Structure 1
């Protein structure tokens, strides 16, 4: 038993106007059956719908577990990207970090125990993950599985590094590496840093898929940042993500990662430049990237 020896897992949970969902999320954390302690690191980005009051209620009941930062000003609107890496990773005391945002939730009470047991016994693996169902705003299941069958697999270091993966963040548990507290500055240029995180973790080990963990629940609703974005904006965000991940690997002289992301950008630009509906490309916003990578590719 590892109880009373400090948290083994730090759960990073970011919230914003999740009053309708946050109880289900927190209950999914608190129902976990483990032989170790864990902590829940919450960052609320100045919610206006009562989310902070609900978090305070849980903090009063579970002060040793629930550890919130309740912002008075919205950090995302001030231009800060990467809430978890800026506010939660630096204060994580656990050997491992698990992720779940305040509008998603877990359903398997042994999720944390299963992932910790595996990572403890398999030091060559850096991250573990599992499947999730998708529900709508009414709580109705609209997808039994968010993962294609071909993606329900373990990943090698190279597959993680190159972004040739599909890993759901709400399912992830990974080692609390030193680099997470000194996060590469390139990530600050990326709106959605999930892919960057996966590639970063690949520098330290392999990925394990757990078919034995019940699917978590991913909530699809109109207030989600990604849902609100147009196809053009999503396209732009994806290319910028690839570009800054490439720049990171180039800076640290990681040749495999550098080449992998050069190829991803070239292929994406090629594909989307042929799409007449891609206004972003037609306006030439990424022309400098296209010419830059054309030169690099020789």
Structure 2
């Protein structure tokens, strides 16, 4: 890494974890492998894991005391109503000029990820969000060549594009100036997810840049993840509650930015509503003409399956049950 002992910390890696004993070593090793000519720190928040994750973090922190800084909770904070753990516990202690995001079940692929994104943002101070594509890893399934690739080719991202986009950004790809989160707006605190309000804050303050290279991995299907927990219990009620909170987030964002990105925010909010309709199979809304734009954003496979289930539900469920039972 070079002679960086006396340099200021340039990057803070923000890692939030809970019951990731099977994954956290991979994440920490991918952070430690970063090759940079600047100093960086690794902030790990463990939300009172019960599977040994905490012990692994302590082991790494003991081995790398000048690099890894853990905060291990005795009581689960998410269950106490704190949705955005990063803003409550990691952002306030970040010393880096830039913050990198990566949950404990994801990991970095490229050893040059930190340096490439920092170098770009250093050369372009107006850039408030630097992202890249990510490889998708399906837990418990054979490897497949899948990516979260929202764009094709390196490119600038306008504030409107960051707010209103047809496909999401991998959390593990996100890097941004730490100044964005020094004073968190109300819409960050109230939002049910942590990445969307960061993107909104970035759009409010500047523009983005996308690197078309998979420099991290996004794991899908991890037990206990936000996505899997959201599918438990009364799924329809959870989806309604999710949309209500997201709508409030976009409304608060519009107020905070005095409507500068109102059109993009309203479209993003409508897309969120539409996707909850897709998730809960409300076909009257799914195929309504006013949502045609969002329907076309779905993958061809998803569109086909929705039409199949809507037009021939008996055959769809027969085929699906036969496939699942095979």
Deviation at 1:246, TM superposition (A): 1.8
Structure 1 match to 2:311: none
Whether 2:37 is the aligned partner of 1:35: answer: yes
Distance in 2 between residues matched to 1:51 and 1:276, nearest whole Å: 34
Partner of 2:258: 254
In 1, Cα distance between equivalents of 2:130 and 2:191: 24
Alpha-carbon distance in structure 1 between the residues aligned to 2:263 and 2:252? 11
* Contact 1:196–1:241 (CA under 8 A) maintained in structure 2: no
Distance between the aligned counterparts of 1:271 and 1:24, measured in 2? 32
CA distance in 1, matches of 2:280, 2:94: 46
Q: 1:172 aligns with which of 163, 171, 174?
A: 174
1:290 match: none
Query: Using a 3 Å threshold, how does the CA distance of structure 1 residues 56 and 255 change in structure 2: closer, same or farther?
Result: same
Partner of 1:243: 248
Residue 134 in structure 1 maps to residue 136 in structure 2 = yes
Q: How far did 1:255 drift?
A: 1.4
Once the two structures are TM-superposed, the CA of residue 234 in structure 1 deviates from its matched residue by 3.8
Which range moved further: 256-265 or 125-134? 256-265
More helix per residue: 1 or 2?
2
- In structure 2, the partner of 1:65 is 67
SS of equivalent to 2:148: coil
Flag structure 1 segments of 5+ consecutive residues without an equivalent: 282-298
> Structure 1 residue 173: deviation in Å?
0.9
Q: Which runs of 5+ in 2 are unaligned?
A: 286-326
**SS in structure 2 of the partner of residue 43 of structure 1:** strand
8 A contact 1:161–1:201 mirrored in 2: no
TM-score, normalising length: structure 1: 0.83
Which residue of structure 2 lines up, in the alignment, with residue 121 of structure 1? 123
How far does residue 94 in structure 1 lie from its aligned partner after superposition? 0.5
Q: Structure 1 residues 147 and 59 mapped into 2: Cα distance closer, same or farther (>3 Å)?
A: same
Distance in 2 between residues matched to 1:6 and 1:271, nearest whole Å: 43
Shift of 1:263: 4.2
8 Å contact from structure 1 (residues 191, 241) kept in 2:
yes
Alignment length (residue pairs): 277
Offset of residue 153 of structure 1: 4.2
| Partner of residue 187, structure 1 | 188
Partner in structure 2 of residue 204 of structure 1: 205
How large is the Cα RMSD of the aligned pairs?
A: 2.7
